Amino acid sequence: MKHTRQLSRRDFLKTGGVFVVGVSLFGCGKENVPGLVKPASGVPWSPDVFVSFEADGTARIISHRSEMGQGIRTGLPAVLADEMEADWSRVRVEQSVGDAKYGNQNTDGSWSVRGFMQRMLEAGATVRLMLEQSAAQQWGVDVSECAAEFHTVVHKPSGRVLDYKDLVAGASELPVPGLEQLEFKSPERYRYIGKELPIVDMHDMTHGSADYGADIRLPGMKFAAIARPPVVFGKVKTYDAQKTMALAGVERVIEMPAPEPPAVFKALGGIAVIAENSWAALRGRDLLSIEWDDGANADYDSAEFGKALRETVRQPGKPQRDEGNIDEALKTANRTLEAEYYAPHLAHAPMEPPAAAASVTADFCEIWAPSQDPQSLIPMAEAITGLKPEQIRINVTLLGGAFGRKSKCDFVEEAVILSKQLAAPVMVQWSREDDIRHDYYHTVSAQHLAASIDEQGKVTGWRHRVAYPSIMSTFDAAVKEAVPFETGLAALNLPYSIPNIRLETGVAESKVRIGWLRSVCNIFQSFAVNSFTDEIAKARGMDPLENLLELLGPDRTLDFTELGLEATENYPFDTGRLRSVTELVAQKAGWGRSLPQGHGIGIAAQYSFHSYVAAVVEVAVDGDGAWRVPRVDIAIDCGQYVNPDRVRAQQEGAVVFGLSLARDSQITAANGRIEQGNFNNYQVLRIGLTPDTRVHLVESSAPPAGVGEPGVPPIAPAVTNAIFAATGKRFRDLPLGRTLDLTPV
């Protein structure tokens, strides 16, 4: 066979999972998706950037955030629809392009609802008022007599009713009211907010018709696979592409430009294989013979680096928080306690590896990508193509998972570079190995904690030392210590009522690209803080729950702005809410209940992304050290929530994510090269190990807070605390592995 044909993901599945090469299936490779957002025809009225109405009364609501399974493409439009009294069956949700007119589109940091719920309410209230004004004009009555109700406006005195479709033309002639004219619905009138609502993408996702990054097909599209340097900032020394070019379907081999530090979100360089289909591109890449110049990071050995980090935190560091006199407290204590914790690099490993398509011509650049931050692609494309922002269009596909990885645009930059050079549309497809070996890794960390206990058994001092490569090293190679926004995730903002507290940072140079991953530094800092809290309970002879609640102290609000953390006028750190979720989860989990032999339960609580989460984990440990988690209870107070079903789903996902990093997940390096490459050696939790997860939501009228990330931090420490309760042995390094070493220390 001389040629291969490109099979779409769906057509591949239609074959029953059998890999087919050289077989012509009707329709294979014929998809044409010129864009995901098409200009609508006949739309007479668009009173707000987020909503417009068609002549038949159908409301078109724009989702400007990226959908990656969290349900935001339903959540924010539902808020707008609720406030404008829309019939959800007459609403059409469309994904926005990347455009500054929508405001911030970076779908990171559990920010979407808390950042944009009010904006959606304002848009909905604006539309509702204008439709009521249009009805008042038609009836010749005062607008105060008119009330919008389920896609109609009712004249209250007479009972007359007009459908929204009969009001669109009149409303389009009215001036848009100012914010001071708007009146918002009271929560008891909400139709969708706070109620379970199926996500708008569910059918397409479950029937295989949803468009993800790898599904885009354009006329004349080429496919590219890239051999990237195995060591960050390595370069091509020599290469031989003779075998690659002899492969059917391969068209060209192109050397990519090598970046210079800092990493930022630059493409990594290497050798690109251009082919008529993705199989030929990937296979052709495997046949390349490349000699690499590994550069300055070739000496990176994660095991040795971990040892160095541990030594760093055993020495005094630079104080970021220093209250009271911790040195005196430790010196004069009746008893002191010390412990050291370690967590490795982690990869994002979303189910969908990165993929992006670009089409660059002399006067236009169009991109299709599963991007968490589509606006960031505009200046990148502008710099490469020389085009103006108005000549660049960013289409956002669905994201098959992301966890922070797809807010970086390196994989999209590759597609733009190649499309410009080839003068043709190009799809860059990463393999799973590419994804694991060329990630922006969650940073490795070492932590050393010490506490002082007086003669009455009270905790009088807390010292916390941390050392880890900073995320900021990705943007500035000179940064070699954690900055406050990182330590402020569960360390700098320690909420305990202890008179003497110090947080110190140590030097740690980055040898790989460091990025944010779901819950960021909360993961390892919460692990250390909550584990050490449990160790203090043991030292004090107290029940872990009672100890935790005592350390939280009296209910109060905390302000850490003087330490460099963000101002929280609308989101004060309320320790009473953290106490409440802790007490709630303990009650729901049956804290103190009788357990079978070899079982134990552990508790942990964490404030993050302005939400309050506590978890109780039950573990079962066999005599040979094999362990599993039969049950997890997790409680969250995230303020006002939009869709309780999605909040529960996010916490269930957080439990799986947290158990994965506690049990198996880690990235290691030797000679600068990442040693993991796929799910065989970068393990995530298998479905057979997924526990009975019970999510407990707190009803709250507080402003909406984060949901996607806050459930992760308490899981790992609750696991190790439960293991200690079951076995009497303390584990302080992650991951724990599938079998515990129960040899007495």
Structure tokens at 278: 């993705």
Torsion angle of alpha carbons 379, 381, 385, 388, nearest 10°?
-50
Per-residue confidence (pLDDT) for residue 218, from 0 to 100: 97
Window from 2-6, 438-442, 485-489 with minimum mean pLDDT: 2-6
Q: Which H, E and C letters describe 164-224, residue by residue?
A: HHHCHHHHCCCCCCCHHHCCCCCHHHCCCCCCCCCCCCHHHHHHCCCCEHHHCCCCCCEEE
Which candidate, 684, 689, 691, 679, places its Cα nearest to that of 665? 684
Is 33's pLDDT higher than 50?
Answer: no
370 three-class SS: coil
pLDDT tens per residue, range 176-197? 999 999 999 999 999 999 999 9
Place of tokens 């309050």: 612
Distance CA 67, CA 213 (A): 12
Per-residue confidence (pLDDT) for residue 411, from 0 to 100: 98
Asked if 525 and 489 touch (Cβ cutoff 8 Å), the reply is yes
Per-residue confidence (pLDDT) for residue 251, from 0 to 100: 98
Asked if 501 and 324 touch (Cβ cutoff 8 Å), the reply is yes
End-to-end CA distance of the chain: 64
Place of tokens 């190679």: 477
Is 593's pLDDT higher than 60?
Answer: yes
Distance CA 270, CA 232 (A): 11
- pLDDT category at 44 given cuts 50, 70, 90 is low
Biggest alpha carbon–alpha carbon distance for the chain: 86
Distance CA 346, CA 168 (A): 52
> What letters, b where the CB count within 10 A reaches 16 and e where it falls short, cover 344-375?
bbbbbbbebbbbbbbbbeeeebbbbbbbbbbb
Percent of the chain with pLDDT over 70: 94
- pLDDT category at 67 given cuts 50, 70, 90 is very high
* For residues 481-487, average pLDDT: 97
Distance CA 649, CA 69 (A): 9
Listed in order, strand segments (DSSP E) in 407-556 are 426-429, 445-453, 459-467, 500-506
- pLDDT category at 566 given cuts 50, 70, 90 is confident
Write out the H or E segment, with its range, that includes residue 359: strand 355-360
Asked if 608 and 713 touch (Cβ cutoff 8 Å), the reply is yes
Is 31's pLDDT higher than 70?
Answer: no
Which candidate, 359, 393, 363, 368, places its Cα nearest to that of 378? 393
Is 38's pLDDT higher than 80?
Answer: no
Average pLDDT, the chain: 93
Is 168's pLDDT higher than 70?
Answer: yes
Beta bridge partners of 224: 274, 428
Is 553's pLDDT higher than 90?
Answer: yes
Judge: domain 45-204, CATH 3.30.365.10: yes
Window from 43-52, 170-179, 357-366 with minimum mean pLDDT: 43-52
> Which one is the CATH code of 213-294+354-429: 3.30.470.20, 3.90.1580.10, 3.10.310.30, 3.30.365.10?
3.30.365.10
Window from 267-276, 380-389, 563-572, 655-664 with minimum mean pLDDT: 563-572
Per-residue confidence (pLDDT) for residue 8, from 0 to 100: 53
Per-residue confidence (pLDDT) for residue 2, from 0 to 100: 37
pLDDT tens per residue, range 434-465? 999 999 999 999 999 999 999 999 999 999 99
Per-residue confidence (pLDDT) for residue 695, from 0 to 100: 98
CA distances from 273 to 15, 241, 256, 367 (A): 27, 9, 10, 20
- pLDDT category at 638 given cuts 50, 70, 90 is very high
Domain range 314-346+441-727, CATH class: alpha beta
Asked if 502 and 326 touch (Cβ cutoff 8 Å), the reply is yes
Per-residue confidence (pLDDT) for residue 565, from 0 to 100: 84
Distance CA 255, CA 241 (A): 11
Of 6 and 221, the one with more pLDDT:
221
Place of tokens 């990330």: 709
Per-residue confidence (pLDDT) for residue 296, from 0 to 100: 95
- pLDDT category at 42 given cuts 50, 70, 90 is low
Is 34's pLDDT higher than 70?
Answer: no
Which candidate, 470, 442, 459, 228, places its Cα nearest to that of 345? 442
Per-residue confidence (pLDDT) for residue 567, from 0 to 100: 66
* For residues 102-107, average pLDDT: 94
Place of tokens 């103006």: 388
Is 26's pLDDT higher than 90?
Answer: no
Per-residue confidence (pLDDT) for residue 408, from 0 to 100: 95
For residue 442, count CB atoms less than 10 angstroms from its CB and return exposed for 0-12, middle for 13-18, buried for 19 or more: buried
Which candidate, 33, 88, 34, places its Cα nearest to that of 61? 88
pLDDT tens per residue, range 507-534? 999 999 999 999 999 999 999 999 999 9
Of 523 and 206, the one with more pLDDT:
523
Q: Which H, E and C letters describe 77-101, residue by residue?
A: HHHHHHHCCCCHHHEEEEECECCHH
Distance CA 455, CA 453 (A): 7
Asked if 361 and 29 touch (Cβ cutoff 8 Å), the reply is no
Is 588's pLDDT higher than 80?
Answer: yes
Per-residue confidence (pLDDT) for residue 744, from 0 to 100: 84
Q: State the amino acid at position 84 in one-letter form.
A: M
Distance CA 708, CA 654 (A): 8
Distance CA 284, CA 84 (A): 55
Is 48's pLDDT higher than 90?
Answer: no
Under 8 Å CB-to-CB from 319, ≥6 apart: which residues? 502, 503, 504
Per-residue confidence (pLDDT) for residue 5, from 0 to 100: 46
Distance CA 235, CA 602 (A): 48
- pLDDT category at 7 given cuts 50, 70, 90 is very low
pLDDT tens per residue, range 663-713? 999 999 999 999 999 999 999 999 999 999 999 999 999 999 999 999 999
- pLDDT category at 16 given cuts 50, 70, 90 is very low
Cis peptide before 262 (omega within 30 of 0): yes
Is 45's pLDDT higher than 60?
Answer: yes
Backbone φ and ψ of 464, nearest 5°: -130, 120
Asked if 348 and 405 touch (Cβ cutoff 8 Å), the reply is yes
pTM (2 d.p.): 0.92
CA distances from 455 to 193, 356, 543 (A): 52, 63, 19
Of 586 and 17, the one with more pLDDT:
586
449 three-class SS: strand
Torsion angle of alpha carbons 132, 136, 142, 147, nearest 10°?
-30
Is 32's pLDDT higher than 50?
Answer: no
Distance CA 404, CA 493 (A): 23
List, by residue range, all CATH 3.30.365.10 domains of the chain: 45-204, 213-294+354-429, 314-346+441-727
String of DSSP letters for 149-167: ETTEEEETTT--EEEGGGT
